[in-house]
Amino acid sequence: MGKLVYILNGPNLNLLGRREPEIYGHQTLADVEAQCAALAKAGGLEARLLQSNWEGQIIDWIHEARDTAAGIIINPGALTHTSVAILDALNAFEGPVLEVHISNIHKREPFRHHSYTSMRADGVIAGFGVEGYGLAMRRMVSLLGGK
């Protein structure tokens, strides 16, 4: 089994494919999970996709990742713009962190233009739809020395 990568998703991403498809598309989180698992496996890594609508749960997973994961791909959803606590948790994680946003947050409401998560992220992907997760996983394979 390869190095583990956590793919963490924040509030409302459980509704992916059904919530505002004009912004977020029609693919589901299960589709994202399958795509990332295949790319991770091809790169010699293992993916664990998790989603929560609760900030504390996401923080707990980041803490858990300190002992179990080599890297984190995170889409904190709206918590991107509000959570210093998630930033602090990510700052305590030593591996690479990649931030993903399905929509281009810089073309949306002004409050979405600021990301606390970006202050820790080693890279940010926004506006590529759910394909952004695949781009992030490819980059993670490269960062972690996968195939």
Percent of the chain with pLDDT over 70: 90
Amino acid letter for position 132: G
20: Cβ–Cβ under 8 A, 6 or more apart, which residues? none
**Choosing from 24, 81, 114, 116, which is the catalytic residue?**
24
Specify the number of domains making up the chain. Answer: 1
Question: 24-37: per-residue pLDDT in tens?
Answer: 667 889 999 999 99
Cα separation, 60 vs 54, whole angstroms = 10
Cα separation, 82 vs 96, whole angstroms = 22
20 CB burial (10 A radius; 0-12, 13-18, 19+): exposed
For the four alpha carbons of 50, 100, 131 and 36, in that order, the dihedral sign comes to: negative
Note whether residue 68 is domain-resident.
yes
**Choosing from 101, 113, 116, 133, which is the catalytic residue?**
101
Task: Please state the rounded mean pLDDT for residues 3-30.
Answer: 84
Token duo for residue 89: 């948790």
Which residue carries 């399958």 as its tokens?
A: 34
CATH number at residue 85: 3.40.50.9100
pLDDT band at 3 (very low <50, low <70, confident <90, very high): very high
Torsion from C-alpha of 114, 118, 123, 125, nearest 10 degrees: -40
pLDDT of residue 105: 82
* Active site annotation includes 24: yes
Domain span including residue 110: 3-142
Note whether residue 147 is domain-resident.
no
* Active site annotation includes 116: no
Note whether residue 73 is domain-resident.
yes
Note whether residue 26 is domain-resident.
yes
